[in-house]
Structure 1
Amino acid sequence: MRRLLLFGCLLSALLLVACGGGGGRSEEKVTPPPVNAELAAAGKEYFNKYACSTCHSMAGQAGIGPALNGIYGKKVQLEDGSSVVVDDAYLRESILQPDAKTVKGYPKGSMTNVIMPFMPELQKPEVLDALVEYIKSTT
């Protein structure tokens, strides 16, 4: 019985960590893992190639879309009233499904319309990974 209880506690702890917390709680800020400089440099090239800078600033000023410099690990408010910590998973989802979670104050649908022609390229793991690494590198 004691082993079963211990196993249950261990399993619960692992699930709690894997699911990012528990009880609806989220961390205010996560510390980004070390950045792969080579991958981030490729991400910067993709950021320019796919005109991400047309809507997203890397200098801090808001544009059509939110500024992305220093955003990794921070909590952002969403249009639906919830909030989310910007991490790899959130960035990937925001690139591939821009209207899934819209940051408060920004129009839904504008990013989808702009990136749709680039979607086959953006879905490539090497491109997506590089873009996320670039955004992470600006923290």
Structure 2
Amino acid sequence: MKVSFLKQGFLLIVLATGAIACRKNDDNSNPAGKGGNATVITTLAHHQITKNIINGKVYIKYNTQDAPGNGIYDDSAICNIVNTVPTASFDSLKAGNYYLYGTGYDTSIARAVNGGISYSIPDNSTTTYTIQVPVTEGD
């Protein structure tokens, strides 16, 4: 009888440990992405100069501060020229980490430019953030 009780206790401990160990790690209970109150307005800037860039496009990746290794982003927006500045916006975003990647063509050097930056939205308040995405001609 005592051996059976020990076996049952041991089995209970193993099952409980297994249930805890197999549980999904949910450190981010409110992940970044659509469904929030924030708006991010992006501008493309080559050496901090925001004019002269045409055919711009900005891509966004949710829940990361790094460019995706597979090159797949969650959303994108074409830049509109607003007061000579290439501008794209993403609305209804939640608090969290994002990676922004921009592409375009700088008419002042007649070359394609691209680059990215990470950004964190600190809370779920209704706020508009303006972020300058640095781009360069690269190699």
TM over 0.5: no
Higher alpha-carbon Rg: 2
Which structure carries more strand by proportion?
Answer: 2
* TM-score normalised by length of structure 1: 0.30
* TM-score normalised by length of structure 2: 0.30
Which structure carries more helix by proportion?
Answer: 1
